[in-house]
Amino acid sequence: MVEYPRKSPRYRHYGGIIRKMIAYAVQLEEGELKEGLKIAIANQMKKSYMLWNKDTVHDDVIFSELSDISGGKIQISGIELSSHAQFRGQTQTQNNNQQRNRKHCNNNNKKKKFVKK
């Protein structure tokens, strides 16, 4: 019998990559690289949270969950993460571009091509 991998159902909306990034950040020595990585992880967590839940989230919730996932080894406070509007606007722009590209491709397919005989 093959056993399935047991993953924690808690915080699964962040994905495995975030967990790997957090594990890597925990191993780093204190410095600019670690601080930058912690902020990047928190911003990605916020983006993932909003994509999964379609709701706004306060930065303190992200900081709390980051601390919980890292076992208390990563603590962030006193900074402001990217705004909700930046994440929502980026998604909307991508959707508009995709729709525009689809329309353009469809119009090219509908054009009649005349060949001189």
Quote the CA–CA distance of 111 and 102 in Å, as a whole number.
15
pLDDT at 49: 87
> What pTM, to 2 d.p., does this model score?
0.66
Mean pLDDT within 64-91: 81
- Exposed e or buried b for every residue in 80-116, given b needs 16+ CB within 10 A? ebeeeeebeeeeeeeeeeeeeeeeeeeeeeeeeeeee
Domain ranges, ordered by start, for the chain: 13-80
In the prediction, which pLDDT does 51 show? 83
Q: Quick one: pLDDT band at residue 89, thresholds 50, 70, 90?
A: low
User: Tens digit of pLDDT for each residue in 18-53?
Assistant: 999 999 999 999 999 999 999 999 999 998 888 887
pLDDT at 41: 94
Return the H-helix or E-strand segment holding 100: helix 84-110
Which pLDDT belongs to residue 40? Answer: 94
Mean pLDDT of the chain: 80
